Amino acid sequence: MPAPVRILITGAEGFVGGHLLHELAARFPVASFYTERFDVTDAEAVAAAFKAFQPEACVHLAAIASVPDARRDPARAFAVNVGGTLNVAMAILNATSACRLVYVGSSESYGASFRAGVALDESAPLAPLNVYAASKAAADLAMGAMAAESGLRVIRFRPFNHTGPGQSEAFVIPAFAAQIARIEAGAQAPVIRVGNLEPERDFLHVADVVRAYALALERFDELPAGAVFNLASGQPRRIGDILAAMIARASVPIRVEVDPARLRPVEIMRAVGDATKAREVLGWSASLDFQAVV
């Protein structure tokens, strides 16, 4: 398969987008990238972008990615995460049907399936327990259906929690880091406000995650349309232990207080993934030290 030379990235200005651009530029040195911002909920704007650029590949990152943001505005979350994804898929089918689509879903879609207490592979039922997860699950299933019914050339990913430089305070590890930085600078009282510290999560370095997306573009034509891959380390980490390690490196004593506003209405206590399929089919595994980003 010839390497793609025109790659369109939705959500390129976001946290993952910057890391993905760096990875793709290194892996596909002759490629050009369409990263201009457009509203994925505007079907005409999406169609125009695809028609003008005629991409050979698209990585669809654009999303309402925060669980609290989705809970505050469910209509917006579904408009972006489901409607926007459908607009991208239809633009590909209508204007550039040869385009390879990498759809970025979420491990949150497994929801209640995590209550089995085992590392989940791609066969686990999608059973979302919050608005964000429901919107990502709906889009994920729609992409699979469009691959089967309409010939959409799509590979689907379900990444587990990932973090790294540039992530916003809407996510747990940057929220801890930002508060510690403000405390050390004297801009905040020496108290970190937290949600539930007991859950265990499967954390990845963002550079590992974008490497998987690049590998999918390289090997796209070897993979069945609609294929699904988990991206996970298989190692659960208690959120409270991560915070304790960060506080231990702080230059001042810090106290921890639970902030009720940071608690989720429904909590999964242990979420761990099985990425055997990604290892065997894509040759991917988590290789970077997660501790380097905390």
pLDDT tens track for 236-263: 999 999 999 999 999 999 999 999 988 9
Would you list the DSSP string of 238-284? EHHHHHHHHHHT-SS--EEEE-GGGS-SS--SEE-B--HHIIIII--
Give the tokens for residue 175: 């929220």
Residues in the chain: 294
**Quick one: average pLDDT of 188-215?**
97
Specify whether 218 is located in the same domain as 104. Answer: yes
Specify whether 100 is located in the same domain as 244. Answer: no
Q: Is the pLDDT assigned to residue 98 strictly greater than 80?
A: yes
Q: Would 267 be classed as within a structural domain?
A: no
Specify whether 228 is located in the same domain as 247. Answer: no
Give the pLDDT band of residue 95 (cuts 50, 70, 90).
confident
Instruction: Give me the domain span that covers residue 104.
Output: 6-165+203-235+272-289
Q: Is the pLDDT assigned to residue 64 strictly greater than 80?
A: yes
Q: Would 95 be classed as within a structural domain?
A: yes
**Cα–Cα distance measured from residue 125 to residue 127, given in angstroms and rounded to the nearest whole number:** 6
Higher pLDDT, 1 or 124: 124
**Quick one: average pLDDT of 121-131?**
98
Specify whether 16 is located in the same domain as 66. Answer: yes
